[in-house]
Amino acid sequence: MNDSWFTVTAIDNSTFAISEYGHWEQVHSFLLLGADKAALIDTGLGIGNIRTITDQLTTLPIDVLTTHVHTDHIGSHGEFERIYVHEADQNWLVHGIQGLSLEQIRRDVSRDITRPTPETFAPSTYKPYQGQPAGLLHDGDRIDLGGGRIITVYHTPGHSPGHLCFWDERRGFLFSGDLLYDTLPVYAFYPSTSPADLTRSLLRISDINGISKVYGSHHTLGLDPEILLEAKRAARYLQEQGLDHFGTGIHQFNGFSVQF
């Protein structure tokens, strides 16, 4: 697929990463195809219209599953009818992300861009999506896409109150959103974040059996499951040393880091 902004990677014949490598955040969204419908995990930055990509990949109806309501994950939400989010992030989806000015959001979304952007992108008029979701997601929900493809919802707060991970058990794929990725620190230093919750969430996902690959929402596409062993070790260390609170800085581990 030839697109100047999005890079599409086939993880398998019914799972696609839709990446934005031209932006400093290197955001990944994920399209999962079932027999009856598809799930799109996040919709990217909104610099380009991700709907132009998903329309080329499937004609199935699409449910948007939101890992969390931050600007770089809801950029093309307005292009889809069925958007789902955890209740704890619903208020930001409806009323707007609080704690960051629109001017700061516009500066962040438009800086350090290394690829040509679509002609429709104008930083001066960029505005994060706001709207009502079609429904709410809860811990333990099972989303049936048909053909035996079932996605399990894990509520994993810390990076945001309503942060979610999605577990594709049949394939062994864990889509970890902004709970776990590499290269830059996973952060929980804003007032809306919780270092203690983040460490507990890392412990929780590290106990999921059968993971073959971890797909975070930024940077390296697909991490080996061994990173979960390191995540467990890291979370326990942070708890035992009393470091899981604001102001303790950046903590480096083997393969990833966190910033509190």
What pLDDT, in 10s, does the model give residues 142-197? Answer: 999 999 999 999 999 999 999 999 999 999 999 999 999 999 999 999 889 999 99
Provide the number of structural domains found in the chain.
Answer: 1
Structural domain for 22, as ranges: 7-182+207-225
How many H-runs (helices) and E-runs (strands) does the chain carry? 5, 15
Q: Is residue 200 part of a domain?
A: no
Q: Is residue 202 part of a domain?
A: no
What CATH number did the domain enclosing 109 receive?
Answer: 3.60.15.10
Helix residue ranges per DSSP H, 16-116: 51-57, 87-95, 102-110
Q: What is the pTM of this model?
A: 0.96
pLDDT confidence of residue 100: 83
Q: Is residue 245 part of a domain?
A: no
Which two tokens mark 125? Answer: 């008029």
Q: Is residue 133 part of a domain?
A: yes
Q: Is residue 195 part of a domain?
A: no
For 171-217, give the DSSP string.
TTEEEEETTS-SSSPEE--STT--HHHHHHHHHHHHT-TT--EEEES
Tell me the per-residue pLDDT of 58-88, one tens digit each, with 9 for 90 and over. 999 999 999 999 999 999 999 999 999 999 9
Q: Is residue 258 part of a domain?
A: no
Q: Is residue 121 part of a domain?
A: yes
User: Strand 7-12 to strand 15-20: parallel, antiparallel, or no bridges (unpaired)?
Assistant: antiparallel
Distance (Å, rounded) from C-alpha 26 to C-alpha 28?
A: 7
